[in-house]
Amino acid sequence: MAPDGSPSLSVIHPEHVEVARQAARHSFATGERYLQQYRQLRADGSYRWTETHAEPLRDEDGTILQWYGVSVDIHDMVMAQAALHERERELSQLVDMVPSLLWRLRPDGEPVFFSKRMIEFFGLDVDDTEERNESRLTTVIWTVIHPDDAARVSEGLRRSLATGEPFSMKYRLRRADGVYRWVDGRAEPLRDQSGHIVQWYGLSHDIDDQMHVEEALRERERFLWQLVETLPAMIDCASPNGEPVYRSQQLREFLGYDLESLDVAGKRRLAGTLDAGVHPDDVADVKKQYAHSLRT
């Protein structure tokens, strides 16, 4: 102890000396318990983290007679906490870099975490969703999910929460600017060693551009299909081995039967089609020429 009764400042790391001095003076002036964590100099010249406690011993009148202190080495614990904090910082940074919306739910489904990207996407955090007469999960669903998708998503999530099965669904989320975008939402449960669900981890990946491209392709396909079906010509299509795979409406009406009508076990559809549709006097030559075309 120093002459004034405070912990010896000479062994305390320079970065902590002033804080330790002020805390000691406050305890001696008020009689309050002294508690500080700082690095102390060891005999080998290295510094280690310690936690120093000091309590006053009082007489029957409450007058302080002396102080008793103890310093406990907490260096390993502090280093472990620092390493854990750095690990958490790295993981948090990694989560923020993932180009998807990440979220976490409690076992009962209540949201407890939105990633930075998700907060920016929605323009709100978990704490911004006020609980009224319904769960926070319900509030979030009906706030950020398209009205046409909300009931379906709610049912799917609650089914997963009840059964523990993974959640997977495509739906539209409302962006902070009011625009809805399609996402592919997925959630998996994290279980403890006993198999009990500890929490749910979810990911919503933006697929809006992909959905619009697929819709454009489907629309183009419908247009081409209608075009082919309305052409005043008999059109058919075959696979590389010659098997029929499509006949236009004009050709179906001309023949009077569909592709599947002549299917017979053990007989190729191509042979059945040629035998049924080509004149007996021409069928042999047609088969020969067709086989040549397929071969060459």
Structural domain includes residue 214: no
**Quick check: is 237 in a domain?**
yes
Q: What is the mean pLDDT of the chain?
A: 87
65 with 105, same domain: the answer is no
Compare 86 and 112 and report the one with higher pLDDT. Answer: 112
Q: Is the CA virtual torsion 128, 129, 132, 136 positive or negative?
A: negative
What's the burial of 238, exposed, middle or buried (CB within 10 Å: 0-12/13-18/19+)? middle
- Examine the domain organization and report whether 107 and 197 are in the same domain: yes
173 within a domain of the structure (yes/no):
yes
Give the pLDDT confidence score for residue 271 in this predicted structure.
83
> Out of 10-14, 216-220, 264-268, which region has the weakest mean confidence (pLDDT)?
264-268
Residue 174 lies in a domain: yes
The stretch 261-288 carries a mean pLDDT of 84
pTM of the model: 0.55
pLDDT in the model for residue 113: 87
Q: What is the CATH number of the domain that holds 50?
A: 3.30.450.20
Instruction: Tell me: do 134 and 199 sit in the same domain.
Output: yes
Return the half-sphere exposure (C-beta side, CA atoms, 13 A cut-off) of residue 192.
6
Assess if residue 121 is contained within a domain. Answer: yes
pLDDT at 270: 84
Question: Does residue 260 carry a pLDDT above 90?
Answer: no
Same domain, 187 and 107: yes
- Whether 91 is in a domain gets the answer no
Tell me, yes or no, whether 4 lies in a domain.
no
* Same domain (yes/no): 237, 172: no
The number of folded domains in the chain is 3
Q: Are residues 30 and 68 in the same domain?
A: yes
Rounded average pLDDT over 256-260 = 80
Domain that holds residue 242: 231-295
Q: Are residues 145 and 187 in the same domain?
A: yes
Question: For position 3, what pLDDT does the model report?
Answer: 44
Q: What per-residue confidence (pLDDT) applies to 131?
A: 55
Q: DSSP readout, 156-216? A: HHHHHHHH-PPEEEEEEEE-TTS-EEEEEEEEEEEE-TTS-EEEEEEEEEE-HHHHHHHHH
What is the pLDDT at residue 246? 86
The answer to whether the Cα torsion of 130, 136, 142, 146 is positive or negative is: positive
- Residue range 98-116: mean pLDDT, rounded: 87
Domain assignment of residue 188, yes or no: yes
